[in-house]
Amino acid sequence: MKSSTCRRFVLALIALLAMAALSACQREPQPEWRLTDVSGHLPDLDFKLTDDNGKRVTGADYKGKVVLMYFGYTHCPDVCPLTLTQLHVVLDRLGAPADKVRILFVSVDPKRDTPAVMHDYVNAFDKRAVGLVGSDGDVEALAKRYRSAFTREPDRADGNYEVSHSSAIYLFDAEGKARLLATPSASQDDIVHDLHLLTSLETRP
Amino acid sequence: MRYRSLAAALFLLAGTAGISHAADTTGVQVTGGWLRVLPGSLPAGGYVTFDNTTDRALTIVGAESPDYAEAMIHRSSTEGGMGRMEMMDSVALPPKGKLTFAPGGYHVMLMQAKHPVKPGEKVTVAFKLSDGGTIPATLIARPANASGPTD
């Protein structure tokens, strides 16, 4: 009798623990992304470039920040400013969590985009934007890593030229893991929504 | 600056008057003109909406501005995930139709400003038509991260 009560107690305890474990599982964050989920399909944030203050930086320098990475160039008068403006508006709408976000604008035009040019350019859009430049090889390696592409178009008569480039925006979590992909035509609501989720994910110590 | 714009506007008016035998462009209303000012000597994208109230098909074949050394009509696209720009030799402005130059699509690319253009200032652009006429437009300069003429 005594042992049967004890057994029942133990069984009840096990059941309780199991239920607790189950509900913990259900509470595990399973975010409902609105942008394209690329978790596990693209490599972690990693590069060796120079920021717009002339400092050598790597992907690890942005650990702890949610990163929006976008390839472009400063002589691009339309699509790049449109995208950077879009990201600026999105971060303003995000509010306080935007402090945990950085826009990384990687130049695909190393010839014309110096750190100084990039500094003025990115700051004209958003104080949370960082301009990154590198050698042809470094930028090509980064673009290849994320299956991005860019092509320098033939020079015009005045010696100027355009650069066609992938227009995707890559979103990394605070641990540098590739999580989401957005197109420039993605709605601001969707980007704000997913940034709220990304910035609220627990980071492992 | 204001005088320069005024002078430019007068010059444009005179130019239009001088070719009054060409297209009468009074039938084209121009609204919402703005340009995005980028730092340094970087080119600026200009945007505007044309409303052709006439029953004639018009064709825009180029642009010029007294404030910039060069102006070109471009179209951006992000088809297939690639952002690219192409120069347009002509853009149709259909009879009783509207044509909008907006970010991510048609725009006039303004290069080599002849003087620093600051947000709030006005810039004149003359859009050239295939029949020899011009459509004068006033574009308000906006900061780099503006979304339109008034945001």
Cβ within 8 Å, pair A168-B42: no
What pLDDT is stored for residue A125 in this prediction? 97
- The CATH superfamily of A36-200 is Glutaredoxin (3.40.30.10)
Map out the domains of chain B with their CATH numbers: 2-142 (2.60.40.1890)
Dist CA A33 CA A117 (whole Å) = 35
Residues of A in contact with B40 (CB under 8 A): 117, 120
Single-letter amino acid code for the residue at B83: G
Of A74, A77, A156, the CB nearest to B45: A77
Closest CA to B99 of B45, B58, B56, B142: B58
3-state secondary structure of A121: helix
pLDDT of residue B120: 97
The reported pTM is 0.81
- Residue found under tokens 């990687």: A106
Are B43 and A72 inside 8 Å of each other by CB?
Answer: no
Is A114 an 8 Å CB contact of chain B?
no
Output A23 or A156, whichever has higher pLDDT. Answer: A156
pLDDT, residue B14, reads 45
pLDDT tens digits, one per residue of A137-182 = 999 999 999 988 788 888 887 778 888 888 899 999 999 999 999 9
Reduced 3-state DSSP string for B118-132: CCCCEEEEEEEECCC
Task: Look at residue B19 in the predicted model and tell me its pLDDT.
Answer: 39
Encode pLDDT of A39-61 as tens digits.
Answer: 999 999 999 999 999 999 999 99
Mean pLDDT of A92-109: 97
Q: What is the pLDDT of residue A37?
A: 95
A28 or A144, which is more confident: A144
B44's enclosing H/E stretch is strand B44-52
Shortest distance between the Cα of B6 and any Cα of chain A, in A, equals 26
Q: What is the pLDDT of residue B15?
A: 42
Question: What is the DSSP secondary structure assignment for residue A143, as one 8-state letter?
Answer: H
For chain B, say whether A32 makes contact (Cβ under 8 Å): no
Instruction: Indicate if the alpha-carbon torsion angle A112, A113, A114, A120 is positive or negative.
Output: positive
**Of A67, A52, A35, nearest to A176 (Cα)?**
A67
Burial class (CB in 10 A: 0-12, 13-18, 19+), A15: exposed
* Shortest CA gap B18–chain A (Å): 30
Helix ranges (DSSP H) in chain A: 2-27, 79-94, 115-125, 136-145, 188-200
Provide ipTM, 2 decimals: 0.78
Show residues of chain B in contact with A168, CB under 8 Å: 81
CA dihedral B60, B66, B68, B69 (to 10 degrees): 90
